[in-house]
Chains A and B, each alone.
Chain A
């Protein structure tokens, strides 16, 4: 097989509050022989809030990010669900609306760029599963995670709306997603089923609606705990921030102590591939990863 090579759109979180996500992503790519070219030119995607203020500006900025993947002639991979949604949504809108594409390109021309629509956009989770392959990944597992019950937490912006997401996520059904479960099994772990696995963590309403956000976070952790999970795993750094950092607020809102270690998807894969805790940045977690 030809070596896999992608343009990596890190998003902001992986460069700031979840440095362990970028670190572990690069670590497993290295182990698996996947080449990731960092898109250092890319800006913030607007995290689904900028578009509430200025939709056109959000489109132009996201289109600019895609332009840099197109220049490299590579598929763009994302490591944040919200980056994935915003980028894929921009691509979909521009690819299906020629008039809008002309308007956006008129702005991009001012900085010498043109959005063509030639690069695909996919989350690293789905690149691993569809391009690299779960069988090949399983064959590379050095430390099977067989002693752990692992609760997958999918994160909304990788699975909904399926009409858009199915262009890149292999037809995952948002009411019964399986990709992260399959990945857990490939890593030798035991996947835990619970009602909240495909529900919202509350991140996007955290500042303006803190009670709603805290209860959603609490429900997610409580669901995983009640299903006997040892820890949770998520492909989204925003979900991770809620589940890892904000469980005290969630416990208070729920009236029940909720507390579980939460790993980023590449950290879980890294553990199975035999990466060290330092290589995976496990020291950066607020809820301590106490089982390694």
Chain B
């Protein structure tokens, strides 16, 4: 049997009670932790041995209910699944324990997830299908069709990605990675009949997939490896395939790359902005363009560099394109 290793760790724990506190504060605890312990063990020890008023959510304690998600040194984790020694490896022996969102705290590590659930509900996270109430046989889904769901089914609604998404932290309308992953999960299901309706929801400007900043935070933080940004890319693709992509700055920004690559191999940066924004919209970029021009940062159209063997690229764009806009 392995011997138990232990180490002293300083925990700074976020405290706030919306009923009594004006400002949040941190309590510090110095504890010996063993290599077997997870963060939830420490929260329990603090509550049971030091301060019974510390509040946090816990339930299944094996990574399936999703309620114990919190942040440690800014990293979203499931308290019941994250070993202390792994965190010490990354952050050293001072760990800061905070709620997923300091803006939405009810008490200590407990947050009000209403915004999360509202977003989730908004994309109809369930199968919409006219089914017979008394079917004669099971409604079977082939393994091939089941594989289309990818890992989207593994989501436990812990909110780690939702409260790590920088786009969502600024733009409150943004639906966010967890709900997008759910939108993909049900829209990719062969039994579902509301796919188009969902695609219209995620295709809307400000709230939809187009406002994703592509930071990969959601793919990184997910404790169940759902990889939400992969599903966001799939939703983009489905919007084009369903032929409902609007002719706007966001869609033209994606399509413009294909045009530019076909012409030059490389991206014509200036033309991409003009094509995406339109001849009128591009005007707002003029002050920047002048500053860039003055510093030799703008290549004139007649000097636009081209890839060698451009004919290969042109040929591949013709033969390998799978969608039209």
**Known contacts A17-B269, A52-B254, A283-B295: does B166 contact A175 (CB below 8 Å)?**
no
**Known contacts A16-B269, A17-B269, A17-B297: does B261 contact A56 (CB below 8 Å)?**
no
Please measure, in the bound complex, the distance between the C-alpha atom of A17 and the C-alpha atom of B295, giving whole angstroms. 9
Residues of chain A contacted by B316 (CB below 8 angstroms): 57, 60-61, 64, 107-108, 110-111
Total of A-B residue pairs, C-beta within 8 Å: 201
Kindly report which residue of chain B lies nearest to residue A157, judged by CB atoms: B216
Q: Chain A 199-222 against B: per-residue CB contact (8 Å), 1 yes, 0 no?
A: 110101101110111011000000
Contact at B307–A43, with CB atoms within 8 Å?
Answer: yes
Chain A nearest Cβ from B313, distance in angstroms:
5
Contact at B215–A54, with CB atoms within 8 Å?
Answer: no
Q: Chain B 201-245 against A: per-residue CB contact (8 Å), 1 yes, 0 no?
A: 000011000111111110110000001000001001100100000
Q: Chain A 245-281 against B: per-residue CB contact (8 Å), 1 yes, 0 no?
A: 1101100000000000000000000000000000000
Q: Chain B 76-98 against A: per-residue CB contact (8 Å), 1 yes, 0 no?
A: 00000000000000110000000
Please measure, in the bound complex, the distance between the C-alpha atom of A286 and the C-alpha atom of B295, giving whole angstroms. 7
Does A174 have its Cβ within 8 Å of any Cβ on chain B?
Answer: yes
Most chain A beta carbons < 10 A, residue from B90, B212, B315: B212
Kindly report which residue of chain B lies nearest to residue A59, judged by CB atoms: B320
Contact at B75–A12, with CB atoms within 8 Å?
Answer: no
Kindly report which residue of chain A lies nearest to residue B305, judged by CB atoms: A15
The prevalent SS among residues of B at the interface is helix
Chain A nearest Cβ from B173, distance in angstroms:
10
Query: Which range contains the number of B residues in contact with the other chain?
Result: 35 or more
Choose among B210, B216, B257, B308 the residue that contacts A156 (Cβ–Cβ < 8 A). Answer: B216
Chain A nearest Cβ from B324, distance in angstroms:
9
Contact at A16–B299, with CB atoms within 8 Å?
Answer: yes
Contact at A215–B170, with CB atoms within 8 Å?
Answer: yes
Does B146 have its Cβ within 8 Å of any Cβ on chain A?
Answer: no
Does A100 have its Cβ within 8 Å of any Cβ on chain B?
Answer: no
Contact at B213–A205, with CB atoms within 8 Å?
Answer: yes
Does A42 have its Cβ within 8 Å of any Cβ on chain B?
Answer: yes
Please measure, in the bound complex, the distance between the C-alpha atom of A216 and the C-alpha atom of B323, giving whole angstroms. 32
Q: B-side interface residues toward A, CB under 8 Å?
A: 73-75, 90-91, 166-167, 170-171, 205-206, 210-217, 219-220, 227, 233, 236-237, 240, 248-251, 253-255, 257-258, 260-261, 265-267, 269, 273, 276-277, 287-288, 291-292, 295-299, 305, 307-309, 312-313, 315-317, 319-323, 325
